[in-house]
Amino acid sequence: MTATPVADDAASAACCATCAAPALAEAAAREAARLLKAIADPNRLRLLSIVKHGPADGTCVCDLTEPLQLGQPTVSHHLKILVDSGLLAREKRGTWAYYTLVPGSLDKAAALITEL
């Protein structure tokens, strides 16, 4: 989809004979960075950790605010980023929202790093 720019052969030959292998395509890199940026935040890592080790049927939002010692709007902001990026699923039950990990989402994110 995205054209990978070809290195200038003359310039490359000035220092080494082997041209660089094709890089991760630009669009794929942007997409991967988007997901990894959603994870690469201390509070969001802690939220993911709490939800991962929480009840299988979901962790109540009321149990996510206290451990982080952050205000509810800040926690909601981080949770929205995690839901929007496909890492967490949100289900409203009565008064409260419950969060679960989207199955395979963390493995998918990790694979973006190991399979570069």
Binding site for its own copies (CB under 8 A): 4-8, 11-12, 14-16, 18-24, 26, 29-30, 32-33, 36-37, 39-43, 45-50, 52-55, 59-60, 62-64, 66-69, 95-96, 106-107, 109-114, 116
Alpha carbons 114 and 116: distance in angstroms, whole number: 6
- Shortest reach from residue 49's CB to its own copies, in Å: 4
Is residue 97 helix, strand or coil?
strand
- Shortest reach from residue 74's CB to its own copies, in Å: 15
Alpha helices in the chain (DSSP H): 9-13, 26-39, 42-52, 62-68, 72-84, 105-114
Q: How wide is the angle at C-alpha 36 spanned by C-alphas 34 and 40, nearest 5°? A: 120
User: Smaller CB distance to its own copies: residue 42 or 73?
Assistant: 42
